[in-house]
Amino acid sequence: MEFKKIILESFSVIFENKVTLSKALAIPFVIYLAIEVCVYFDIPEILSWVLAALAWVIYAIIAITTHRVVLLGPSSVPKWGITSWSKRETYFMLHVLGIGAMAMGVSLLGIIPIIGAIVALVVVFWLLPRFSLVFPGIAVDKGVSFKLSWELTQDYQLHMFLIVIVLPILLGIPTLLFAQIPYGSFLSSVLAAFVLLFEIAALSLTYQQITNEVYDQG
């Protein structure tokens, strides 16, 4: 399984499904931009928390939509995207919260003097890639659990690290550069949304390849 091949296929599959994705993600994308605009205003703290929660809901919708289009094809999502909340979306969000809880727990290692932060970072880099296959699995209704994701990725630790940790860092560099330009923060947010699609597509293709290889061997 080649990292370079996954990247190229990710760009290819997004381009091939650009019409489907542009329609299905139009509403969440507009909401995402509206949330980003709100950051520039002095808003009450309670509203900022509401917007943060809404941002995660929008992320879930974007991720599920993209995973389904990549893995199941254009007909797997409504023409104008997901407009109702189902068990699938709830299950997806619960696992997002689960990852968040794990990250918060691991961050406590940071209190260890001198090496705490490094240890916490190493643990996150080890755990997050191993658990990440739950997301494409849930998106396509396979009901993948953290346990199953861990089992599926046992022989693919390095590849998962490259896809889940290294790829987002590499793709995120242009967005960081945009953010340094005067008045470039909004453009950086727009670019980050498009970068997210490629990251999700890469995870989808990785899930597809790993499950195919594991089940073929089985």
> pLDDT exceeding 70 applies to what percent of the chain?
95
Neighbours of 125 (CB within 10 A): 13
- Cβ atoms of 24 and 77 within 8 Å: the answer is yes
Q: CA-CA distance, 72 to 205, in Å (whole number)? A: 11
Note the pTM of the prediction, 2 decimals.
Answer: 0.89
Q: Is the pLDDT of residue 113 over 90?
A: no
Q: What is the pLDDT of residues 189-210, one digit of tens each?
A: 778 888 889 999 999 999 999 9
Work out the average pLDDT over 55-62. Answer: 92
